[in-house]
Structure 1
């Protein structure tokens, strides 16, 4: 027996509870893992609260991240005792995820825990840090260097935003942080933000083209915010789109693209190829210190996940939430 969060749906009744589960209930997979840490991401919050139809199959254990120890393996890539991590691949949506003490997974979805990272550190980073790193790599590949101008980060108090600020500032970029919680200004400055703006300046319908303000941006918000970012990009600039906290719509004009040659780069973290994942995680292991992660992450136990998920969706959480499954 092991404990986990189980989401069930019978007709129109959606329920979430912490349950005792049996090994025989685990889904198919060639690797079984004792989970040491998982996380609580925005997508997990949506799944647990039922605010959005994230879960595609029921019953479901949510949790799009996990790290743990292999206890059984039919894969040539992993042996018993290996420390492994997972982000995405539909886990927590189509396949039981990390918010349980055990998981059974497809070995093709797994990475070995990078050298230099502990299990706790890996989940302090999680999908949020990994997504932020993919965004930073996209900016670098576009030729964006610190001397070319400011980089805007939206959703700055969230997990992706927090890591984007930290990573960019460590790499020498001047970062502008956009937030709806100005009282968190000291936190954002401690991460490395040089300037803070109110998200209200970006969240309403704006002009097709505006003043050139930033050479690049990392956006986890979408909707009018993303449209206004594009309108304010400098010539040849780029914005990475990796979230939809404001909405899925994109009420924009083609003007910035054809008059300033800007680029909109989509960042998919769920089905990213293994080689890209390995590159991102290697960079994260080299760039981030324990002190960096301590300022971004908060640890809770499984018993606190349901109430914390409500706070996350309500915008009351900053940074990362790590869930200790061995607590």
Structure 2
């Protein structure tokens, strides 16, 4: 393959537009490992990279895509050889470095994770950054004492990428999962993922005037943040944890310190971008061994699109209209 195609976001007059462009191998970015990309995933951050004021990318033209899986075709680093199956998520991919919405790419070896045994490139990107973030959230919560049998675990934004995977992974591990979503029509979808109960965000909102409410949740995975987070914190059980990984509900929130000092609640910040490689490999190993669902469940969470479908998919994810996760077939 001497040429390849990639989804490129660039200015057209005063508008920022995504379009598929052709490139030659001479256009590949700097790095140690050249990868033929099989699949990438559509993430909220990719949507932000495609619009003015998204505060993700500093210069254009730019190739988004913050995750990818594929096959090594060349490597100057001895840790990787031609034919190795690998994945990349986080670091500068799709932000400061050309991303995964490309049939070919080149990245630093320090970003590359060997594909875990038993996991295909397609399954890896079905999980992708969203699933990795969900898994990292659960891993961190368990490190801080979460265990089955302690009570229900709440997942906010449950029909989104992180939320869908959190519901499925928690249920697969035997947790009693309550899924919160403003999409009431998706109750059957959430039940199929493993949720014991689905509720609206409004049902989480508690009367003002009390810094603490009745203890309800053993823990919570929260990719939403914003104004709902204080309500969740006030109703977490003693010693429970809330893993926060996103801000689709807003970046600011106001809360009392009482949940932390009277109930020992842990507020865990989940960063999938600069996550250390040792932890990154451990969590991907857990995903492959413990949390990867059966094919029919994967089909419930994931839908596959082509490179040419990406502009519409980026619009959908920004508007909150995407259920589960879309993956891009680049083969």
TM-score class, shorter-chain normalisation, is over 0.9
Per the TM alignment, residue 204 of structure 1 is displaced from its structure 2 partner at its CA by 8.6
Q: CA RMSD in A?
A: 1.6
Tell me if structure 2 keeps the 8 A contact 1:37–1:323: yes
Relative to the length of structure 1, the TM-score reads: 0.96
Alignment match of 1:190 (pick from 177, 188, 192): 192
Map of 2:260 onto structure 1: 257
**Aligned partners of 2:9 and 2:284: how far apart in 1?**
30
Alignment match of 1:131 (pick from 130, 133, 142): 133
Unaligned runs of 5+ residues in structure 1 are none
Structure 1 runs, 4 residues or longer, greater than 4 Å off: 9-13, 203-207
**Equivalent residue runs for 1:38-77 within 5 Å:** 38-50=40-52, 52-77=54-79
Tell me if structure 2 keeps the 8 A contact 1:204–1:224: no
**Aligned partners of 1:286 and 1:109: how far apart in 2?**
22
**Equivalent residue runs for 1:147-162 within 5 Å:** 147-162=149-164
**Aligned partners of 2:207 and 2:26: how far apart in 1?**
52
Report Cα offsets for 1:158-215 as digits up to 9, x if no partner. 1111111111111111001000101000000011101111012346995532221101
Tell me if structure 2 keeps the 8 A contact 1:82–1:112: yes
Per the TM alignment, residue 12 of structure 1 is displaced from its structure 2 partner at its CA by 5.9
Map of 2:302 onto structure 1: 297
Map of 1:266 onto structure 2: 269
Which stretch shifts more, 287-296 or 249-258? 287-296
SS in 2 for 1:104: strand
Relative to the length of structure 2, the TM-score reads: 0.94
Per the TM alignment, residue 291 of structure 1 is displaced from its structure 2 partner at its CA by 2.9
Per the TM alignment, residue 129 of structure 1 is displaced from its structure 2 partner at its CA by 0.8
Alignment match of 1:319 (pick from 315, 324, 327): 324
Unaligned runs of 5+ residues in structure 2 are none
Tell me if structure 2 keeps the 8 A contact 1:9–1:15: yes
Tell me if structure 1 keeps the 8 A contact 2:16–2:50: no
Report Cα offsets for 1:80-122 as digits up to 9, x if no partner. 1111100110211100010011111001100111110111111
